[in-house]
């Protein structure tokens, strides 16, 4: 039964990552209905199992954190000008909380935890390779059209797989890669090579996505994590131990040289993307959001949002 359950879970994850959680799965009503049905089946099955086995019952240390957003959705639903739409999104919020608790229950089970965390490795590889290959394909067409090989633009043809935006691809790639690296670890040379490949692939996706907000987020996250690691004696000791061997120092130097070289090659495309504009549009969004909040600071406006 565990194998059958895992096959069903794996298929559900593939559906969610590849289609159900992408642009068409969110904004296409037909696919969204399929996702809701699949979620209902998964939650109902979990409910039956939880009744018979107490260890599967929902629990989470951060359960109080769910109360505020659900209360906000409920309040805006009661005061909404479009109650039907608001009830729908309140329902989605409840389903998301339930699915999180289901994921937590799965990760508390040793058999499912190893399989779910291990499944992030092929997912990270698959999405990263697919995005890079798609971008290279667009570049080949571009080079053929201009009749020369030049530094190509980032996010060619706004390539975004099934996610509707290159920034979304970058986000999915980084999150899956983080989970995959944590699962693989660096205990052996083979695992170290796999981790290096995953990180390089995620870095390529991050660069090619042309996501300025994503670049800033990754830079800030790396800075915060680096400072946090070096601030602890354990982190400093681990860094010193890692750099004691000649192979580690050579690897670090090679990574630095390759990184600097890649940055120099990509600099024209990065600078072009950095000056691509769009700030006026974002300022407009901020101004509109401010007026909406000022008009109804407690209950919100529109469809209960």
Cα-trace Rg, the chain: 23
CA 127 centroid distance within chain: 11
Q: Which has the closest alpha carbon to 207: 132, 121, 129, 124?
A: 132
Helix, coil or strand: residue 223: helix
Q: How many CB atoms lie within 10 A of CB 154?
A: 20
Instruction: State residue 177's pLDDT score.
Output: 96
Tokens standing for residue 216: 């800033």
Tokens standing for residue 217: 């987020």
The phi, psi pair for 150, rounded to 5°, reads -130, 170
Question: Looking at residue 244, what DSSP letter applies?
Answer: S
Question: Is-contact 193 247, C-beta < 8 A?
Answer: no
CA distance 197 to 254: 14
Q: Is the dihedral of CA 197, 8, 49, 92 positive or negative?
A: positive
Place of tokens 């300022």: 283
Predicted confidence pLDDT, tens digits, the chain (305 residues): 678 888 999 999 999 998 998 998 988 889 999 999 999 999 999 999 999 998 898 888 888 888 888 888 888 888 877 778 888 888 889 999 999 999 999 999 888 999 999 999 999 999 999 999 999 999 999 999 988 878 788 889 899 999 999 999 999 999 999 999 999 988 888 888 899 899 999 999 999 998 888 889 999 998 998 888 888 887 777 777 766 766 666 766 776 777 777 666 666 767 667 666 677 788 888 888 888 888 777 766 655 45
CA distance 219 to 206: 11
CA distance 213 to 210: 9
Return the C-alpha torsion angle 245, 247, 250, 254, nearest 10: -130
Question: Is-contact 25 134, C-beta < 8 A?
Answer: no
Using CA atoms, how far residue 35 sits from 20, 197, 302, in Å, is 6, 32, 25
Tokens standing for residue 88: 């729908």
Instruction: State residue 151's pLDDT score.
Output: 79
Tokens standing for residue 301: 């406006």
Question: Is-contact 192 154, C-beta < 8 A?
Answer: no
């Amino acid at each position: 039964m565990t194998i059958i359950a895992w096959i069903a879970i794996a298929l559900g994850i593939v559906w969610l990552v590849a289609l159900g959680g992408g642009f068409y799965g969110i904004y296409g009503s037909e696919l969204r209905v399929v996702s809701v049905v699949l979620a209902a089946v998964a939650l109902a099955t979990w409910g039956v199992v939880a009744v018979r086995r107490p260890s599967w019952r929902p629990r989470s240390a951060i359960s109080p954190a769910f109360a505020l957003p659900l209360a906000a959705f409920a309040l805006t639903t009661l005061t909404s000008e479009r109650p039907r739409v608001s009830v729908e999104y309140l329902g989605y919020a409840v389903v998301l909380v339930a699915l999180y608790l289901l994921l937590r229950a799965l990760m508390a089970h040793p058999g499912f935890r190893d399989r779910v965390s291990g499944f992030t490795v092929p997912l990270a590889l698959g999405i990263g390779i697919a995005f890079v290959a798609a971008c290279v394909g667009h570049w080949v067409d571009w080079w053929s059209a201009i009749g020369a090989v030049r530094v190509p633009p980032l996010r060619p043809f706004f390539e975004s797989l099934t996610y509707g935006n290159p920034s979304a691809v970058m986000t999915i790639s980084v999150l899956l890669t983080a989970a995959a690296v944590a699962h693989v670890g660096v205990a052996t040379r083979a695992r170290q090579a796999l981790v290096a490949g995953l990180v390089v692939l995620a870095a390529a996706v991050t660069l090619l996505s042309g996501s300025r907000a994503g670049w800033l987020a990754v830079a800030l996250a790396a800075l915060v994590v680096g400072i946090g690691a070096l601030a602890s004696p354990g982190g400093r000791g681990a860094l010193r131990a890692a750099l004691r061997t000649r192979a580690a120092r050579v690897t670090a130097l090679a990574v630095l040289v390759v990184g600097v070289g890649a940055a120099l090659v990509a600099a024209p495309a990065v600078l072009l993307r950095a000056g691509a504009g769009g700030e006026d549009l974002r300022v407009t969004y901020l101004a509109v959001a401010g007026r909406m909040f000022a008009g109804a600071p407690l209950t919100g406006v529109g469809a209960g949002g």
